[in-house]
Each structure stands twice: as C-alpha cells, then as structure tokens.
Amino acid sequence: MTVMIEKFFGVHPHVTRTGLWAKMKPGEKDLYIYLMAESERCCTREMKRADAQITAGIGAAARTLCNARKKLQEFGLVLCQKGEGNKYVYSICNPVTGEPYPGDPRAPLICSKRPTKTNGSISDGFSSPAKDLNNTPPTPDDANDRACNGRSEQHGLPGVFDQ
C-alpha cells in the first residue's frame, strides 16, 4: 500500500467502502491500524509481534487482542499464526480476496489501476480513452468517472508540482 502523504500509511479502500470499518469494534480497529502502521514502518506485510508490544502500542487488554485477532481473520484482513511464547506472526491480507498478498512480503506491491468506464467503453486506466463517435456532450456521470479514475485534478500554480 502506498499513500500520497509522506510518513503516513494507508488502509485498503475496500475496508471502508464495503462498510466493514463500521462493523469493526474499537479493539479490532486499533489492532488493524497498528498492524498497518507496523507494516509500513518495517516495509513488510508479514511481522512477528508479542502481545506485550501491541499492548504497549495501542493500550488494549490481552483479551481484547485475542478477540480482535480472531475477528480480523474472520474479516479476511490478516492471517495469524501462533509462534513461540506469546508472539504471533501476522500476515496482511488483501481485503478483497481475504488471502495474503502474493510474493515476497518484503517486496513492494505494484497495483494496477482499476478499469474505468468512459463513454460506454472500458478503459484500463493506462491507455487513452476511447473517442466518442456519437459526438455527445459528456454527462455528469462521465465527469465523475474521469475524476475518480486514479488521477487527481490540478489546482494551484501550474508547473509548481509537476514532475
């Protein structure tokens, strides 16, 4: 996962768009956010943590961590395996599939843009959009599709933030 603001981490949009975030209890959210922050900090999607470390980080009781681990696994957000002592190996999962991301957990993921619909045809987000052969003016829905296809609008001084 990547974010556009330095020194911050991201949460997969599927978690909020599907209403899963609203269903989660505070302890589950705390643990998930802690794991996402640790994943970003350590540049890995798989980490071993002791309950004492997590408790010190988020202030949750041992029972809360136990319940949160179970629920996060049920939601398909993480996989947990008991390790030595009171340590667990956490694997961050793709919330859409409920499975761990493929490949080396220390290798960055390269996510492709989702396909967008433009004037009745599907665009992969990388190629130029299909030409409108009907010469019809764009609708508000078309404008929303273009605004949400992964590119942000440009505001401010031209050329200042261009790369």
Count up the domains in the chain and report the number.
2
pLDDT band at 10 (very low <50, low <70, confident <90, very high): confident
Q: How far apart are CA 86 and CA 88, in angstroms?
A: 7
Percent of all residues in the chain with a pLDDT value above 90, rounded to a whole number = 50
Query: Model pTM greater than 0.85?
Result: no
What pLDDT, in 10s, does the model give residues 106-158? 888 776 666 655 555 544 333 333 334 444 454 544 444 444 444 445 555 55
Helices (H) and strands (E) in the chain, counts: 6, 6
Contact 51, 67 (CB under 8 A): no
Please report, for residues 16, 60, 115, 116, 125, the alpha-carbon distance to residue 29 in angstroms, rounded to integers and kept in the order given: 12, 11, 30, 31, 32
| Cα–Cα distance for residue pair 59/21, rounded to 1 Å | 20
Predicted local distance difference test score (pLDDT) of residue 144: 44
20 and 74 within one domain: yes
**Domain presence at residue 159:** no
Residue 77 pLDDT exceeds 70? yes
CATH (domain of 27): 1.10.10.10
Q: Model confidence at 9, in pLDDT bands (50, 70, 90)?
A: confident
Please name the amino acid found at residue 75. Answer: F
Whether the per-residue pLDDT at 68 is higher than 80: the answer is yes
Residue 89 or residue 155, greater confidence: 89
Say if strands 121-123 and 116-118 run parallel, antiparallel, or are unpaired: antiparallel
Any domain includes 108: no
Asked if residue 120 and residue 78 are part of one domain, the reply reads: no
Backbone angles phi, psi at 92, to 5 degrees: -70, 130
Question: pLDDT at position 27, please?
Answer: 97
In this predicted structure, the answer to whether residue 48 has a pLDDT above a threshold of 80 is: yes
Domain that holds residue 124: 116-147
